[in-house]
Structure 1
Amino acid sequence: MRGETSRISDRVSRDSLAPELRNAGEDTWRIGNELFSFTNLLDHNVRIERALTEPSRSAEDKVALLRSLIGDQAHPVTMTILSDLASRQWSRVRDVANGVEDFGVDAMMYYADATGTTLQVSIELAELHSALLGLSVVRSRLYDESVPAQARIDLLHSLLNGKNFNKVTMRLAEHATCNPRKRRYLATIQWMINKFSRHMGESMITVTTAVALTTEQVDKLVTFYTNKLGRAVHINSVVDPSVIGGMRVQVGDEVTDNTVVAQLHKLQRAVKASA
């Protein structure tokens, strides 16, 4: 968890620069990619992190360091964001990389806004999360940093073979794969889903069933969870015949699994325990 100083620095920086980032339009695709690349650079170069967070070092020196690292190749908004983050105080050295990553995801959200695909990306991230829930071995490989990054990305692409995901969804999924940042894969995807939900002003509820939900069932779920959570919700209906029957509902990090297959697994464990 971030210290209070880091949380304040991250929030103030993102709030103050949000209009400039939003106004960059479709350039936010480039900005987001540049910020993800710089996040990766910081994660693998603690000396640079320390140089950019050293309280006794002037803001001018830090900006000069940034320019020496990225030259004139980066988008001006990317440089503005990095300069702003470098000028702030951080509780821990590694928190500056968290701030850069936060901006990277924000940039991808604004790109989705600019291309009219924000809800689509949010739904696709939820579908990816749901698809991986029962694949613990695959998940562990996706964030195993002992496996080369390209091999992990190839595994992700093979897993999503035939899925025509939006390019923002794919880029976010690839970022989570090639730079795990010491997080479990599903934790990173859930963090991104939560960010998109807050961005849209509603919560994403993923409901997995063996057959498609009817309109009436979706409406009842919307009413129930809107009343329960006290805010607007979107129901992401995922059809997975392997669950056989029943319903699995995911709200944020909380999963309630009342599917037939889950009950069968529970029964099997009980039988083995009593044998």
Structure 2
Amino acid sequence: MRGEASRIADRVSRDALAPKLREAGQDAWRIGNELFTITNVLDHNVQLERALTDPSRPVADKTAVLHELFGDNAHPVTTAIMTDLVGRKWSKASHIANAVEDFGVDAMMYYTDATDTTLKVSVELAELHSALLRLPVVRAKLYDLSAPAQARVKLLHTVLSDAGLNKVTLRLAEHATCNPRNRRYLETIQWLINKFSRHMGESMITVTTAAPLSLDQVKRLVSIYSAKLNHPVHINSVVDPSVIGGMRIQVGDEVTDNTVVAQLEKLHRSVRASA
């Protein structure tokens, strides 16, 4: 969990620089890639994180460190973002990498806006989440930190070679693979789904069932949750035979689990408690 100083720094910085990212148009693709690279560098260099977040160090010294790292090679917006971030206060040194990653995802979302592919990428991320839910062995290998990042990314490309994914979907999946950042793979994909949903002003409702939802069921769920949340929603239908029956519905962090397996587990706990 981020401290108060880091939350404020992240929010204020992103609010201030969002217009620059939005105005970058298709350059946002380059900016996002640069920010993901910087995130990876920071995650693997604690001394650098400390140098860029030390409150006793003048901001001019920190920006000089940035110039040593990137020179004139980075996009001007990337440089503006990093300059803004090193000028702010952080609860922990590692939190600056979280903020850089947030900006990287924001850049990718603005790129999809510029190319009219935002909904497509959001749906593809949901489909990827659903597919990997049924591939636990592949999922484990994508998260296996004992294997080199290059090998994990190669496996990802093999799995997705015939999927025809948008390049942003693929790049986000690559980022989750080569730099897990202490998150489970599906946790990262769900985080990305939620970010895209908020960006679009609609919620991604993930519905897990033992069999595919019918068209009528999807329409009914869209109607119910659009009215409940007072804005449009998209249904991400996940098929998982292990739930046996019923539905598990996730809206952001809120989960309503009425599946048969959940009810059986609840009954089992109740029996054990009364024994």
TM-score tier (shorter): 0.7 to 0.9
Is the deviation greater in 106-115 or in 154-163? 154-163
Deviations 1:151-180 (A, max 9, x none): 111221222232111110000010000001
Indicate the residue corresponding to 2:8 in structure 1.
8
| 2:214 aligned partner | 213
User: Distance in 2 between the 1:187 and 1:237 partners?
Assistant: 17
The corresponding residue for 1:48 is 48
The within-5 A match list for 1:34-183 is 34-183=34-183
Q: Please say if 1:191 is aligned against 2:205.
A: no
The unaligned stretches of length 5 or more in structure 1 are: 271-275
Give SS of 2:236's match: strand
Q: Describe the SS at the equivalent of 2:120.
A: helix
Tell me which amino acid in the other structure corresponds to 1:16: A
List runs of 5+ in structure 2 lacking aligned partners: 269-275
142-151 or 156-165: bigger deviation: 156-165
Q: Cα gap change, 1:230/1:128 in structure 2, threshold over 3 Å: closer, same or farther? A: same
CA 1:187/1:204 → structure 2, altered by over 3 Å: closer, same or farther? same
Q: Distance in 1 between matches of 2:141 and 2:107?
A: 27
Distance 1:32 1:107 in 2: 5
| Deviation (angstroms), 1:206 | 3.1
Q: CA deviation at 1:250?
A: 3.9
Residue 203 of structure 1 corresponds to 203
3-state DSSP of counterpart to 1:235: strand
* Preserved CA contact (<8 Å) 2:29 2:111: yes
Structure 1 residues 129 and 232 mapped into 2: Cα distance closer, same or farther (>3 Å)?
same
Contact 1:211-1:241 at 8 Å conserved across structures: no
2:130–2:239 CA contact under 8 A, matched in 1: no
Which residue is 2:271 aligned to?
A: none
Distance 1:224 1:127, change over 3 A: same
> Which residue identity is paired with 2:92?
R
- Counterparts of 1:249 and 1:127 in 2: how far apart (Å)? 16
Total equivalences in the alignment: 267
Q: Give the superposition deviation at 1:257.
A: 7.0
Kindly report which structure 2 residues correspond to 1:242-253, keeping only aligned pairs within 5 A, or say none. 249-253=249-253
Instruction: Provide the identity percentage.
Output: 68
Matching residue's letter, 1:84: D
Distance of 2:183 and 2:236 partners within structure 1: 25
Q: In structure 1, how many angstroms separate the alpha carbons of the residues matched to 2:151 and 2:120?
A: 27
Give the RMSD, CA atoms, in angstroms. 2.7
| Partner AA of 1:166 in structure 2 | N
Q: Which moved more, 1:140-149 or 1:93-102?
A: 140-149
TM superposition score normalised by structure 2 = 0.87
User: Quick one: which amino acid aligns to residue 98 of structure 2?
Assistant: N
Q: How many angstroms does 1:251 deviate by?
A: 3.1
In 2: Cα distance, 1:155 partner to 1:107 partner = 26
**Equivalent runs, 1:21-32 vs 2, <5 Å:** 21-32=21-32
Q: What is the Cα deviation at residue 36 of structure 1? A: 0.3
Given residue 124 of structure 2, which amino acid in structure 1 is its aligned partner? E
Paired residue type of 2:63: V
Secondary structure of residue in 2 paired with 1:206 = strand
